[in-house]
């Protein structure tokens, strides 16, 4: 009789045979490759073996070998069991944190792209633009800073209010008459994932219930972008330059411009 046991991600095949002699018809042995485990005393034969315990492969976690908390069961996109402060113990709070991380990820991705593109245009001389951390002080001819701030507060407040209402009552913001007759153009797929031809022009992940891979890619890139934004903040406070400036300076002499100066700065 052949038995296959799963151990981690490996499948080990075992050959089991029972030998019955004339003197002892109730003794059996289990042979595994070249190692035999003789039965001690009188035990059940292999024909009585009805259950084989299979150990399932553990899902990846942020720290290998760490047991994730029970409320992070791996069903959420990008769930690697990371919650050292236990913020997600309450199911309702966890739902909101998922949406909050998603929005911050998208803002970070847009911010990183905007900073890199404008910094590249500035460094190459294509456009006369301020460095990203001074862009907020730029004066425009078409409107004052106060006017721009008021318009931004109204527009962002409107969008964020509708997002919150859709979170509290999924699908409520897609009803006719809730957005100037443009509901079908902005028809959402589920809370946090708007759709329609305006917000999903390529028709990606129309079947949102089976779009786990797309969700995972988005949240991974979003987390990377949030870390990049943190790096931009620290970089600007130390070097008082944009990311492209720092990259050019680093590539000009990596050993002296980056490593030696960093070591000298840390030792001073």
pLDDT tens digits, one per residue of 59-68:
888 888 888 9
Q: What percent of the chain has pLDDT over 90?
A: 39
Q: Has 217 been labeled as part of a binding site?
A: yes
The model's pTM: 0.70
173 among annotated binding-site residues: no
Q: Determine if residue 48 is labeled as part of a ligand binding site.
A: no
The pLDDT, as a whole number, for residue 171 is 74
On whether 27 is known to bind a ligand per the annotation, the reply is: no
10 is in an annotated binding site: no
Find out whether 235 is annotated in a ligand binding site: yes
pLDDT band at residue 93, thresholds of 50, 70 and 90? very high
Q: Is 101 marked within a binding site?
A: yes
pLDDT tens track for 110-143: 999 999 999 999 999 999 999 999 988 888 888 8
DSSP secondary structure, 91-123, as one string: HHHHHHHHHHHHHHHHHHHHHHHHHHHHHHHHH
- Per the structure block, which two tokens stand in for 30? 């289990």
Would the annotation count 163 as a binding residue?
A: no
Does residue 95 have a known ligand-binding role?
no
Cβ-Cβ contacts under 8 Å for 221 (sequence gap 6 or more)? 105, 109
DSSP-assigned letter for residue 240? -
The correct CATH number of 89-264 out of 1.10.3460.10, 3.40.50.80, 1.10.20.10, 3.60.21.10 is 1.10.3460.10
- Token pair 């456009």 is found at 127
- The domain locations on the chain are 89-264
The sign of the torsion formed by the CA atoms of 66, 71, 72, 75 equals: positive
- Tell me whether residue 212 is annotated as binding: no
């Amino acid at each position: 009789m052949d038995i296959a046991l799963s151990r981690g991600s490996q499948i080990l095949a075992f050959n089991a045979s029972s030998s019955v002699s004339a003197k002892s018809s109730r003794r059996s042995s289990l042979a595994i490759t070249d190692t035999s485990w003789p039965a001690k005393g009188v035990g059940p034969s292999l024909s009585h073996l009805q259950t084989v315990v299979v150990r399932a492969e553990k899902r990846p976690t942020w720290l290998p070998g760490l047991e994730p908390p029970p409320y992070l069961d791996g069903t959420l996109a990008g769930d690697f069991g990371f919650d050292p402060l236990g913020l997600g113990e309450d199911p309702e709070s966890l739902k909101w944190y998922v949406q909050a991380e998603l929005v911050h990820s998208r803002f970070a991705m847009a911010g990183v792209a905007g900073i890199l593109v404008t910094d590249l245009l500035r460094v190459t001389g294509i456009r006369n633009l301020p460095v990203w951390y001074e862009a907020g002080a730029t004066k425009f001819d078409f409107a004052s800073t106060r006017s721009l701030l008021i318009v931004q507060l109204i527009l962002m407040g409107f969008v964020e209010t509708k997002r919150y209402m859709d979170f509290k009552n999924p699908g409520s913001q897609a009803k006719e008459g809730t957005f100037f007759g443009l509901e079908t153009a902005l028809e959402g797929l589920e809370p946090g994932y708007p759709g329609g031809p305006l917000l999903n022009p390529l028709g990606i992940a129309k079947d949102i219930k089976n779009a786990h891979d797309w969700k995972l890619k988005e949240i991974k890139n979003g987390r990377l972008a949030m870390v990049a934004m943190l790096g931009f903040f620290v970089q600007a406070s130390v070097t008082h330059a944009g990311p492209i400036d720092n990259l050019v300076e680093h590539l000009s002499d990596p050993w002296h411009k980056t490593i030696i100066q960093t070591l000298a700065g840390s030792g001073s």
